[in-house]
Structure 1
Amino acid sequence: MKFVVVPELRGRWSWELRVGDEILATSAMSFGSRQLALVSIQEFRSKAPRSAVFDLSGKSMEDEVAGLQ
């Protein structure tokens, strides 16, 4: 799994989280500098490992996710 920093038009930057050629996630916005895109990646990386899974009603789906392993 890797993050890829992507140059866009007009000097903007975004990022993608990839496994092989598959894109798993993309930044929700573009950034005015490569440095800001890297800051966003660092923030995402710091929060994602602690993320729980819920449905839209707020019910935890952790038991269901655990059953998939």
Structure 2
Amino acid sequence: MAQYYDYVLGVIPLVLGGLTGLLSVAGLDLTAALPVGASVSALIIGHALFVNMPTQPTAESTEATHRADAE
């Protein structure tokens, strides 16, 4: 099952290429569209790292998961 970080890793290149291409087709120069797409991609990375940061499972949460699976 795909999780949050799987989606983030998939969205980063889509936003970079898609937004850059969309802005370029809309009439913005490529030299201006590329930094905009890269900035939005960087914001997505920043959100994944600092707002919804990855955590290591602790022993307590691992035990709770195993107990829930056993029931």
Whether TM-score is above 0.5 comes out as no
Higher strand share: 1
Instruction: Select the structure with the greater relative contact order (CA < 8 A; seq sep ≥ 6).
Output: 2
| Interval of TM-score (by shorter of Structure 1 and Structure 2) | 0.3 to 0.5
TM-score normalised by length of structure 1:
0.34
TM-score (norm 2): 0.33
Structure with bigger gyration radius:
2
